[in-house]
Amino acid sequence: MKGSGQLLHTVHFWRLTVICSLALLASQLMAVAATTNVSFARGIAAYEVGQFAAATREFRNSATNQPATGAYLNLGLSEWRRGRAGAAVRAWEQALWISPRDSAARNSLAYARRLMDVEAANLRWYERVSVWLPINAWGWITAAGLWLTVAAVLLPDIFGRRRSTATQALAAFGLMVLLLSLPAQFGIRTRQQLGFVLQRESPLHLTPTVDSEVTVKLPAGEPARWLRTRGHYVLVKTSQGEGWLEVERFGLIVPR
Q: What is the mean pLDDT of the chain?
A: 86
First to last CA, the chain: 56
Q: Report, as an integer, the average pLDDT of 2-31.
A: 38
Q: Which residue has the higher pLDDT, 27 or 242?
A: 242
CB atoms within 10 A of CB 177: 16
Residues 14 and 18: their CA atoms lie apart, in Å, by 6
**Confidence class for position 161, pLDDT limits 50, 70, 90:** confident
Residue 56 pLDDT exceeds 80 = yes
pLDDT tens sequence across 132-146 = 999 899 999 999 999
AA letter at 75? L
pLDDT, mean of residues 103-120: 94
| Three-state DSSP string of 118-156 | CCCCCCCHHHHHHCCCCHHHHHHHHHHHHHHHHHHHHHH
pLDDT score for 18: 35
pLDDT at 7: 39
% the chain with pLDDT above 70: 86
Phi, then psi, of 120 in degrees rounded to 5:
-75, 165
Q: What is the pLDDT of residues 173-199, one digit of tens each?
A: 999 999 999 999 999 999 999 999 999
pTM of the model: 0.81
- Per-residue pLDDT, 228: 95
Residue partners of 102: CB distance under 8 A and separation at least 6: 69, 73, 95, 96
